[in-house]
Amino acid sequence: MQENQTKLQPIKVQGRLEELETLRLIRNECRFFMTRHTSEIQPEEQKWWWDHIKKEDYTVFLYYVDKVPVGYGLIRVENGVSWLTGGLREAYRGKGLGRQIFIHLITQCSNITEIWLQVRASVSIIRVCAC
């Protein structure tokens, strides 16, 4: 990261409604790039998802710039493999913040044996991780 670059502040999501709503809004702005579900998530679906995920397998972050939530990141552990996903609000893309998100997510993965980033064929974002 360059010295004068905007620094993201990660906050781990604890499940407060306000956090889930922020997560929902950012994720919906990224939805066309998602590999599994591209539909718009409604507030009740977001809450249902949070209530039903196995908390020990998921770690979710919101990322802030000057107290403004601009991105999210998620780690899902499945059979010892950490799956990463994340995204930024459109206005904050292309400024090096995506690289910060994925580097941060990677540093949060413990006992790393494998990390997978699932992307659409048209999004070769794996380069973000080439740090």
Q: Which residues bind ligand COA (CB under 6 A)?
A: 30, 33, 85-88, 93-99, 117, 119, 123-125, 127-128
CB of 129 to ligand COA, least distance (A): 9
Residue 69 or 98: which CB sits closer to ligand COA? 98
CB atoms within 10 A of CB 19: 19
CA distances, 13 to each of 71, 79, 121 (Å): 12, 23, 29
Q: Which two tokens stand for residue 44?
A: 């009740």
The Cα–Cα gap between 56 and 46 comes to 18
Using the minimum distance from each CB to ligand COA, give the nearer residue, 17 or 124: 124
Question: Measured from the CB atom, is 17 or 81 closer to ligand COA?
Answer: 81
Provide the minimum distance between the beta carbon of 84 and ligand COA in the complex, in angstroms, as a whole number.
7
